[in-house]
Amino acid sequence: EPEVTQTPSHQVTQMGQEVILRCVPISNHLYFYWYRQILGQKVEFLVSFYNNEISEKSEIFDDQFSVERPDGSNFTLKIRSTKLEDSAMYFCASSVQGHGLSNQPQHFGDGTRLSIL
């Protein structure tokens, strides 16, 4: 069964440093997402991406965050200057369709644990 893959599985970074999290969505999927889950809290939406642009973003996704699809397969999340509160599990997801009444589910990768020191 095709799956979303994420690298690295664990990233440890000093506060203030830039970090790039990588994802390879399922190959025929057109919509891509990033979510995060702070330890002990619920999963929170960050951003969705379609047709090479952001289609929706949350209040969490401020100017320190950016996303990119640099080639035909990778989808990346960059945090420009990390803060302690960015420590969380970051999940990438993808779906065949996204908008409107689509009931197409989103499939999640196994996450990158980001630890900011």
Site track 1-30 with another protein (rule: CB under 8 A), x = hit: ------------------------------
**11 bridge partner residues:** 114
User: What's the chain's Rg over C-alpha atoms?
Assistant: 14
DSSP string across 33-46:
EEEEE-TTS-EEEE
Region of 18-26, 65-73, 80-88, 101-109 interacting with another protein (CB under 8 A): 101-109
Comparing CB distances to another protein, the nearer of 11 and 55 is 55
Q: How far is the CB of 16 from another protein (least distance, A)?
A: 26
Q: Are 15 and 117 in contact (CB under 8 A)?
A: yes
| Beta pairing class for 65-68 and 75-79 | antiparallel
Distance, in Å, from the CA atom of 83 to the CA atom of 87, rounded to the nearest integer, reads: 8
Site track 31-50 with another protein (rule: CB under 8 A), x = hit: x-x-x-----xxxxx--x-x
Site for another protein, rule CB under 8 A: 31, 33, 35, 41-45, 48, 50, 55-56, 58, 89, 91, 93, 98-103, 105-111
